Amino acid sequence: MNPLSALFGAGVDLRNALYDRGRLRVRRLPAPVVSIGNLSLGGAGKTPFVIALGELLKARGIEFDVLTRGYGRQTRGPARVDPSGSTRQFGDEPLLIARRLGVPVFVGGRRHEAGVLAERSLQPRLHLLDDGFQHRQLARDFDIVLLTPEDAQDRLLPVGRLRETLGALRRADAVVLTPGASPDGLPISGKLLWRVRRSIAVEQAPPRPVAFCGIARPQRFFQELRDAGVQAVAEVHFRDHHAYTPADVARLLKLKQEHAAGGFAATEKDAMNLGALAELLQPLLRVRVIMELLEPQAAIDAMLSLIARRRL
């Protein structure tokens, strides 16, 4: 193992051991908490999965909210997301979840504070904790971890993209295998094993667009466009959660002119990060990523049953 990754891993192991032994404080909310997380730095599809899980809970008539960090926002303290607000106020993924699910979403660096705010103003039966696997300050009643095909071959930070090794899956209750991921050799004996189908929704794509995105795994998005029959004349990627500027828009418009493109294609998250600048990039295809849980009713039944037993 690379010395830097070994040092990072030692720090992660020490932190987890302190939580396991009760040396670091864990706070609990009155309502149950379901955490959705992963092992790597983005790109697993957590946000689409939160939305998919939320839709299944709504179909059951279960009232819930979403607690999330609000990465990239320029405000401080816990707050409820206003769906008509901006990414600078709340962060791109919280805003996307609030708009897509139509349920209360609360942001806060300390997720317990966000949960307290939620419970003061609402009476949720359940909290969904977005990107919560490593946020061990907040107790959870059910841990879901998404696993990508890349995770099995990756290395720990800062050399690779892993925040924890595969051994951390022992803390999970359910492991979600995203397309291409395999359970072989994983420490998941006795865990619930869920599988998902991933797709994109493409409607009225402009001919020969310039495709761009600011997400963790841009090449996956570009490949999904090609698989959907969208033939981009240029592909541009920015860093994850990129806040677009007029200079970025000018660069994209220049590419459109140089390649005689018919418009633009970007993820739904990128369209939100553009804000008002999106009006300058028309026609713009906003691509929605869709996650579908296979055998969803059995999965939800198992999750709710385990939570009920733990809450006795």
Sheet-wide strand order for 142-147:
79-80, 105-107, 64-68, 126-130, 33-38, 142-147, 174-177, 192-201, 284-293, 264-267, 210-213, 234-237
pLDDT, one tens digit per residue, over 109-151 is 999 999 999 999 888 789 999 999 999 999 999 999 999 999 9
pLDDT of residue 1: 74
Which three-class secondary structure state does DSSP give residue 23? coil
Q: What is the CATH number of domain 3-198+292-310?
A: 3.40.50.300
Please, are residues 178 and 146 in contact by the beta-carbon 8 Å criterion? yes
Q: Give the pLDDT confidence score for residue 107 in this predicted structure.
A: 97
Closest CA to 293 of 183, 199, 152, 185: 199
Of 134, 129, 163, 149, the residue nearest 49 (C-alpha): 129
User: Is the four-CA dihedral 163, 165, 169, 170 of positive or negative sign?
Assistant: negative
> What are the domain boundaries of the chain?
3-198+292-310, 205-282
Locate 75 and state its tokens.
């405000």
pLDDT attached to residue 120 = 92
**Nearest 10 degrees: Cα torsion 131, 135, 138, 143:** 60
Record the pTM: 0.95
Q: Which residues of the chain have pLDDT under 50?
A: none
Tell me the per-residue pLDDT of 25-51, one tens digit each, with 9 for 90 and over: 999 999 999 999 999 998 899 999 999
